[in-house]
Each structure stands twice: as structure tokens, then as C-alpha cells.
Amino acid sequence: MHSHFGMDAQTTSGEWLTEAHGGFGIAIEIKEKLVSTVSEYQKIELFETANLGKMLVLDDIIQFTEYDEFCYQEMMAHVPLFAHPNPENVLVIGGGDGGVLREIAKHDCVKRIDICEIDQKVIDICREYVPSLAKGYDDPRVNLYVGDGNVYIQDKQQFYDVIIVDSTDPIGPGESLFNEDFYRGMRGALRESGVITSQSESIFLHQDVIQGLLRIAKKLFTKYSYAGMYVPTYPAGNIGLCAASLGPEVEVPARRPSVEMQRQLRYYTPEVHEAAFKLPRFGMEVIESVRAED
């Protein structure tokens, strides 16, 4: 897999997968389709790409490529885990590929890692074909529950220190993870200094989704904010997370990675943690307009 591609433009006659939104899109050159199936919940495709390793596509939306998945997984996991002073019990909702589990397992202070993923087929396919992410399941602290995250969360009381919502988009099975009822469930499931992050789309493309999540977070949590990150194979080359907490600041880390752990990370640093919450002015206005509402 290439880590950089040089400056030469290339035209090829190979097969490309295109994901487009709002009249523009990204195109990924495909070497081989490895899996194509339909589960109870969604269409699932796994590709070997020409340059970016394996790529998972659900309902025609790219979920990850092995080339740049570290950007998303590291930020989704390490922002809330380092914002929390001592996370012990951690829950992932969605995240069936295992990539976020892999990152959580790097924290020695974590004692228990639960995951609630709705689709057993996503888990099975990633375990068979994508060990670079699915190795996250190998950690002995991991407990897997297969079911709807919005059902799972409702009877949990003050148990988790960190909850990470690694979901698909708010259409299809992921829809139930974007409403107030789900966020109330998460608040009830958190211990008193609890911190959450949730996959929150692109500041260029989905300002309405971001504002909707921030309005819910504002109602239910004491701190809330939005951070952006570079991910070249998501639409517009970026995605974001909403972070919310019942106590700790979310925009600055309470702990720092050890020297040894920092060596294992390719995206997250304490400086990147803080910088990700600094948005360009048009983005800050999207956030500030929710903060200014009564």
C-alpha cells in the first residue's frame, strides 16, 4: 500500500467505484470484489482496491479503506479516552469492523470494552478478510453483543466512562443512533464523568446533521463540541465527531499518551486533539449558532 502517491495525474481504464454527494464525489480504483451480499440490515461489499488495501462499502457508502482508516479510528477512540481522566468501562456502538476496538485496547487503564453491533455479517466478513482492523476483537477485555445499539443502551445505568458511536449514516439501520431518545439512553448509561463521541459527518456536506446532534447534546450534556478530521476516502475528504461530556472538558486532553503509545499512533497527538476542535470560520458559525440558541 502506498503512503503517498507523487504528483503525476493518472488515467486508467480499470474499474472504479464512485461515491458522489451533491454533484461531486470520490473514485477508488478496484482490483477485485471479494464479497457481495445482503444482510438483514444492509448491502455489504468488500473490495481489494488497486492502491488502498481492502475497502468496506455498506449500502453504497464507503466505510473504510485500509489506507486511511487510522485517521478516523484513532480520533473516534482517543479523543474521548484522553479527555477522560481514568476511563475503565468503554462501550462501542456500531464499529463492527473492529478498528475502534483496536485503538481502545491501547489504553492500559481500560478494564472492560463492550461492543454492540447490529450486523453479525459485517463482523464475520471483517474477521475473515480484514485482520488489520478485526484484530481489535482479540483483546481479552472485549465483549461482543449483537443487536440494535438504541435497544442495548436503554437498560444500562451509570456503568460506562466512555461511549463511542461508530455508526453508519442516519439512513438505514444507523437512523436510530441519531435521535434524542438514544442520547438520553447514553446519558443514563454513563458514570458521572462520562464522555461520548459519535460519528458526525462532514462540516462541508452535512451541517444539518451536525446541528441536530449538537442541539441534542446541548440539552443533555454539560459540555459539547464538534471536531473535524482529514480522511481522504470520505466525501469531501473529511469527517467529524461530536464530543459531549457530563464533566470533563472534551476539547483538551486530561491525559497524554506515553512515549511508547505515541509511537503506535499515526494521527492522534495531544496537539491534534485540541486543533481538531478549531474550525474554519464557516464551520465555527455552524457550531456557534447552536450555542447561541435559547
Are β-strands 160-166 and 142-146 bridged in parallel, bridged antiparallel, or unpaired?
unpaired
Angle at 209 between CA 204 and CA 213, to 5 degrees: 125
Binding mask 56-95 for ligand SAM (x = CB under 6 A): -------xx-------x--------------------xxx
Binding range to ligand SAM, per CB under 6 A, among 45-53, 80-88, 144-152, 189-197: 144-152
Annotated active-site residue 166? The verdict is yes
Q: Give the whole-angstrom CA distance, residue 107 versus residue 30.
A: 35
On whether the CB atoms of residues 265 and 257 are closer than 8 A, the answer is yes
Phi, psi of 211 (to 5 degrees): -65, -40
The SS3 assignment for 227 reads strand
Angle at 142 between CA 121 and CA 70, to 5 degrees: 70
Closer CB to ligand SAM, 147 or 285, in the complex: 147
Among 45, 74, 97, 114, binds ligand SAM (CB under 6 A): 97
How many residues bind to ligand SAM according to rule CB under 6 A? 24
As given in the structure block, the three cell numbers for residue 278 are 478549531
Q: Does 213 bind ligand SAM (CB under 6 A)?
A: no
Among 45, 114, 117, 161, binds ligand SAM (CB under 6 A): 117
Q: How far is the CB of 194 from ligand SAM (least distance, A)?
A: 19
108, 124, 166, 294: which one is catalytic? 166
**Residue 101 identity (one-letter amino acid):** L
Active-site amino acid positions:
166
By the criterion CB under 6 A, which residues form the site for ligand SAM? 63-64, 72, 93-97, 116-119, 122, 148-150, 166-168, 173-174, 176-177, 199
